Structure 1
Amino acid sequence: MTAMDLVELSRLQFGLTAMYHFLFVPLTLGLSVLLAIMEAVWVMTGRPIWRDMVKFWGVLFGINFAMGVATGITMEFQFGTNWAYYAHYVGDIFGAPLAIEGLMAFFLEATFVGLFFFGWDRLGRVQHLIVTCLLALGTNLSALWILIANGWMQHPVGARFNLDTMRMEVTDFAAVIFNPVAQSKFVHTVSAGYVTGAVFVLAISAWYLLNGRHRALALRSMTVAASFGLASALSVVVLGDESGYTAGENQKMKIAAIEAMWQTEPAPASFTLFGMPDQAARRTRYEIRIPWVLGLIATRSADGIVTGIDDLVARAEDRIRSGMIGYGALEALHKTPDAPAQRQLFEAHVDDLGYALLLKRYTAQPAQATDREIKAAALDTVPAVLPLFWSFRVMVLLGFFFIALFASAFALAATDRLDRYRPFLRICLLALPAPWIAAELGWYVAEAGRQPWTIDGVLPTFLSVSSVSATNVWLSLGGFVLLYTALAVVDLMLMVRAVRLGPSAEEERTPALHPLPEPTAAE
């Protein structure tokens, strides 16, 4: 098995565990805030139905939270097992946000999870509400620090290569924290989590109404979810635009690949609504274009240029040649550390050193690479266009679907007609998996669009792996698949069981209802 096979295996393992972990993260984000909203209503009104709602949705939150913790811990261990050189090369920067996440956010979150479940009879109403709000805060802070670490991988700022230690080291921690890519990713990801929580509550409540169960709880839950979900879905679109704009400023190849934009167009560039990108032919077949839209969105101007893939490949080739000079100077400094001319040469080209590392896929001596090897390395900077193109479009389509879904639910709730339209309730139920599909597609676009880099422009993915055998990766991958499959079955069984049992306290106060009748022609 070749070294590249080992890289692909390691990527597959990390990708599977990360995407599996992210099945639980957005629901945890969304439900934590919804619990705080519902409990605030209980504290203000004193009506027991709202306390029953908090307890019922809190059980589902707890199941999901436990699964998220279990899958998140194993995922972080992979930085040491499968990506050891990555951990060595950038551990000073990447490790700090993860450590802060554990100390500040996870411990806060875990502490208040316990108080949330065991404090109902030991804390006053306001005290328990504060606990629930702090639980939601801890959940969101956890996402913040994780996304600061990930945002740095997308846009590495506040760090510089140290010639003496041969590693990337922090030079400005404030720049790492306030990285514009990380901040835009945070608000976009958190809003997507809120949508997931709202759709979950909407779907389960719709199932209760369709089956004539827990009508009081279901109607109130749907009303809260519709209002919260509509605001969140609108935020996702707006903040997604902001995230795309920051990517357009700092990750031009990702934007060009998402749009299958092979050649640079005169400003403002058109948006490809539909097409079938052909990466080998470097063209998009069956295109349906909307003039000006891409240029206006990506640059927020009528004269801003959206650079095409071919021109970006040419720029990458220039940066590779610049990096070769820096790499050659680095080799010279290893032999003669006291060489001011070589040090000056290295400092002039250090920002392109990562591009020279792309050549290690083709030659052990990047400083002496041939033109053919340079051109091949430059082409490697283009990610897989077809899956990025369609993943992005399906994600955006689902985003507009959520707006329509929540707007409809909000209008029906405002006119007290949520339980009168069975077809709409069925749509709500069928929409249950949609936010997870959108979230997973979003992560795929973010991570696959960064390839071939682990840290954009700094460290290629194929250099980041550990020196382990492919057999070990296969064994651990198989173990993860078996473990996560078992966890998925357990999680699904627990969630279904909790939903079927329903809120027992509310059941005692509200007699069982017959399923809603089908609407008549007059309705």
Structure 2
Amino acid sequence: MELDVVSLSRLQFAMTALYHFLFVPLTIGLSILLATMETVYVMTGREIWKRMVKFWGTLFGINFVLGVATGLTMEFQFGMNWAYFSQYVGDVFGAPLAIEGLMAFFMEATFVGLFFFGWDRLSKRQHLAATWAVAIGTNFSALWILIANGWMQHPIGSEFNPETMRMEVTSFFDVLFNPVAQAKFVHTVSAGYVTAAIFMLGISSWYMLKGRHVAIARRSIAIASAFGFASALSVVVLGDESGYEANLNQKMKLATIEAMWETEPAPASFNLIAFPDMAKRDNSFAIEVPYVMGLIATRSLTEEIPGIKELVESSKDRIRQGVIAWDALQKIRSTNGDVDQEVRETFQINQHNLGYAYLLLPFAADPLNATNEEIDAAAWSAVPNVWPMFYAFRIMVACGFFFILLTGVFFYLASSGKLDHLRRNQRWILQIAVLSIPLPWIACEMGWIIAEYGRQPWIIEGMLPTAQAVSNLSVTEVLLTLAGFVLLYTVLLVIEVALMIKYIRKGPEDGELPEHSPAEAATPIPMAAE
């Protein structure tokens, strides 16, 4: 990576975004689990469920605070490091981000206080309503953020205004129901549910291994495994939808995920393992699984999937058409919009390729007189590095199938009343659950690398290159803020982990039932009865 403002600004935003997303999935998932457990408490009146809500709620609170703090920092970066991007998308981003703050964040921030401090001030049902409000607000917050992000991946419902040099909303309905945004939302939220389930499963397994808080641990495993198994299955199904949308709207991203250099005739094969070579623009080794990619990306066995090289050739054509739009735009701008109708019509016809003309700027001093070599270089700059895309996707998928297996095993053991037998005779299964706690975060981060790195060099797919979106800053200024964020976030991470470990070791505060008390030593844990 070159030490320039664009690269450093990208690195800073990537670092803060990936760090922020350490907290988001756990917050999303735990909020629903807390509401579910408290619902059981209100329905049954059993105090053990209240103790479970309070204990897991403490861990939720620690995570929630760090998530809020890091999320605010991310939004400030739009103005600090991405000034032109903020000006360019303000009309589109304004509504979803404002609704997220006013409708979702205020909702969860208000009711989270009632959740922690309302136990003795509210009735059971009132407190339950507050807990569900936190859960709904948390998930709605993710919805509006992902609507904004989904628009960056597939910018529909808007139009570029050459006079203002801004994107303007033409249909808020299209922005809201953007298929990419909706697919990202359900996939991301389901991943959050899996993260919380594995987190609860791993900690509860640790308690089982230690022989502590066994009654709470058994119930936590039962609810986490059931919730996690359903969520892990849904992640795979909804991930398939994301792959289908990528083939429709982000073909280059899909091609790099698959290290697919040549166009695949129908039915397309899936590269299970490959060694992409960016220099040779080919794979030095690959193991293919027939038909699979065709089913994922096209849901058919009759459609071919374009490869990287074909997409690069298509980009060259779009660059040439984009230059025509770029030339017309310069004329409109130089005359303050007082140009012939023919110039405007020329711009309107070619404006959907305007962003591709911007790809030429790092390679050609004058886009109107760009050489074939410069156009070729610009077209290949639209190809993300294949290695990280290819392997990030496979790490994410491997984790996803492992989660199905892990939660499925524990769901069977919990529903058949074999958890105590497991603790005595097959402790290695519990140990695997404990060691699996970091895996959902690895899978989530891989997913975001695929989503965001795979969109490069675009900050808005096909419309605005990342290099054109940065603020007018010096390398030194960006380095200083980057160093500051790294230092601050490192301190916050240490505090977060220390607090989590402290309260996990401490366990539920309201006492601990004897390990084999008559009331709690019953066999399976049927969820309806509990």
TM-score, normalised with respect to structure 1: 0.96
Identify the residue that residue 406 of structure 2 maps to in structure 1: 405
Aligned partner of 2:501 among 477, 496, 516? 496
Residues 162 and 333, structure 2, Cα contact 8 Å, conserved in 1: no
- Secondary structure (helix, strand or coil) at the match of 1:306 reads coil
Q: Structure 1 segments of 4 or more deviating over 4 A?
A: none
Give the Å deviation of 1:247.
1.1
Give the Å deviation of 1:390.
0.5
Q: Kindly provide the amino acid, as one letter, of the partner of residue 348 in structure 1.
A: I
Identify the residue that residue 67 of structure 1 maps to in structure 2: 66
Identify the residue that residue 475 of structure 1 maps to in structure 2: 480
Aligned: 1:428 with 2:428:
no
Identify the residue that residue 351 of structure 1 maps to in structure 2: 352
Aligned: 1:510 with 2:509:
no
Aligned: 1:251 with 2:255:
no
- Secondary structure (helix, strand or coil) at the match of 2:510 reads helix
Residues 215 and 515, structure 2, Cα contact 8 Å, conserved in 1: no
Give the Å deviation of 1:255.
0.2
Aligned: 1:283 with 2:282:
yes
Q: Kindly provide the amino acid, as one letter, of the partner of residue 135 in structure 1.
A: V
Cα distance in 1 between the residues matched to 2:333 and 2:77: 32
Q: Kindly provide the amino acid, as one letter, of the partner of residue 510 in structure 1.
A: P
Cα distance in 2 between the residues matched to 1:511 and 1:408: 23
Cα distance in 1 between the residues matched to 2:334 and 2:222: 70
Identify the residue that residue 485 of structure 1 maps to in structure 2: 490
Identify the residue that residue 437 of structure 1 maps to in structure 2: 442
Give the Å deviation of 1:286.
2.0
Aligned: 1:361 with 2:365:
no
Cα distance in 2 between the residues matched to 1:199 and 1:312: 39
Instruction: After superposition, give the CA deviation of every residue in 1:130-153 in whole Å (9 maximum; x if it has no partner).
Output: 111111000000000010010000
Identify the residue that residue 180 of structure 1 maps to in structure 2: 179
Give the Å deviation of 1:95.
2.7
Cα distance in 2 between the residues matched to 1:506 and 1:362: 68
Identify the residue that residue 48 of structure 1 maps to in structure 2: 47
Identify the residue that residue 77 of structure 2 maps to in structure 1: 78
Q: Kindly provide the amino acid, as one letter, of the partner of residue 491 in structure 1.
A: E
Cα distance in 2 between the residues matched to 1:158 and 1:305: 28
Identify the residue that residue 168 of structure 2 maps to in structure 1: 169
Cα distance in 1 between the residues matched to 2:334 and 2:134: 55
Cα distance in 2 between the residues matched to 1:510 and 1:41: 22
Residues 256 and 309, structure 1, Cα contact 8 Å, conserved in 2: yes
Give the Å deviation of 1:127.
1.1
Residues 210 and 422, structure 1, Cα contact 8 Å, conserved in 2: yes
Instruction: After superposition, give the CA deviation of every residue in 1:66-96 in whole Å (9 maximum; x if it has no partner).
Output: 0000111011100000011111111111232
Residues 43 and 125, structure 1, Cα contact 8 Å, conserved in 2: yes
Instruction: List runs of 5+ in structure 2 lacking aligned partners.
Output: 518-530
- Secondary structure (helix, strand or coil) at the match of 1:169 reads strand
- Secondary structure (helix, strand or coil) at the match of 2:300 reads coil
Give the Å deviation of 1:310.
0.5
Residues 261 and 308, structure 2, Cα contact 8 Å, conserved in 1: yes
Instruction: After superposition, give the CA deviation of every residue in 1:425-451 in whole Å (9 maximum; x if it has no partner).
Output: 000000000000000000000001000
Residues 212 and 512, structure 1, Cα contact 8 Å, conserved in 2: no
Cα distance in 2 between the residues matched to 1:89 and 1:26: 29
- Secondary structure (helix, strand or coil) at the match of 1:361 reads coil
Aligned: 1:378 with 2:379:
yes
- Secondary structure (helix, strand or coil) at the match of 2:168 reads strand
Cα distance in 2 between the residues matched to 1:13 and 1:225: 35
Aligned: 1:124 with 2:123:
yes
Residues 214 and 512, structure 1, Cα contact 8 Å, conserved in 2: no
Residues 163 and 333, structure 2, Cα contact 8 Å, conserved in 1: no
Identify the residue that residue 267 of structure 2 maps to in structure 1: 268
Identify the residue that residue 298 of structure 2 maps to in structure 1: 299
TM-score, normalised with respect to structure 2: 0.95
Aligned: 1:396 with 2:397:
yes
Cα distance in 2 between the residues matched to 1:511 and 1:446: 46
Cα distance in 1 between the residues matched to 2:108 and 2:226: 26
Instruction: After superposition, give the CA deviation of every residue in 1:369-408 in whole Å (9 maximum; x if it has no partner).
Output: 2222111111111101011000100100000000000000
Identify the residue that residue 519 of structure 1 maps to in structure 2: none
The aligned length equals 511
Cα distance in 2 between the residues matched to 1:14 and 1:364: 29
- Secondary structure (helix, strand or coil) at the match of 2:287 reads strand
Instruction: After superposition, give the CA deviation of every residue in 1:227-271 in whole Å (9 maximum; x if it has no partner).
Output: 000000000000000011111100000000000000112111111
CA RMSD of aligned residues (A): 1.3
Cα distance in 2 between the residues matched to 1:277 and 1:400: 24
Instruction: After superposition, give the CA deviation of every residue in 1:21-77 in whole Å (9 maximum; x if it has no partner).
Output: 000000001100000110011011111000000000000000000000011101110
- Secondary structure (helix, strand or coil) at the match of 1:359 reads coil
Identify the residue that residue 314 of structure 2 maps to in structure 1: 315
Give the Å deviation of 1:511.
5.8
- Secondary structure (helix, strand or coil) at the match of 1:504 reads coil
Bigger Cα displacement from structure 2, 166-175 vs 10-19: 166-175
Cα distance in 2 between the residues matched to 1:348 and 1:122: 64
Residues 155 and 181, structure 1, Cα contact 8 Å, conserved in 2: yes
Bigger Cα displacement from structure 2, 43-52 vs 415-424: 415-424
Identify the residue that residue 527 of structure 2 maps to in structure 1: none
Cα distance in 2 between the residues matched to 1:197 and 1:392: 21
Cα distance in 1 between the residues matched to 2:165 and 2:10: 24
- Secondary structure (helix, strand or coil) at the match of 2:160 reads strand
Give the Å deviation of 1:364.
4.1
Instruction: List runs of 5+ in structure 1 lacking aligned partners.
Output: 514-523
- Secondary structure (helix, strand or coil) at the match of 1:392 reads helix
Q: Kindly provide the amino acid, as one letter, of the partner of residue 454 in structure 2.
A: G
Residues 217 and 506, structure 1, Cα contact 8 Å, conserved in 2: no
Residues 331 and 339, structure 2, Cα contact 8 Å, conserved in 1: no
Cα distance in 1 between the residues matched to 2:353 and 2:311: 15
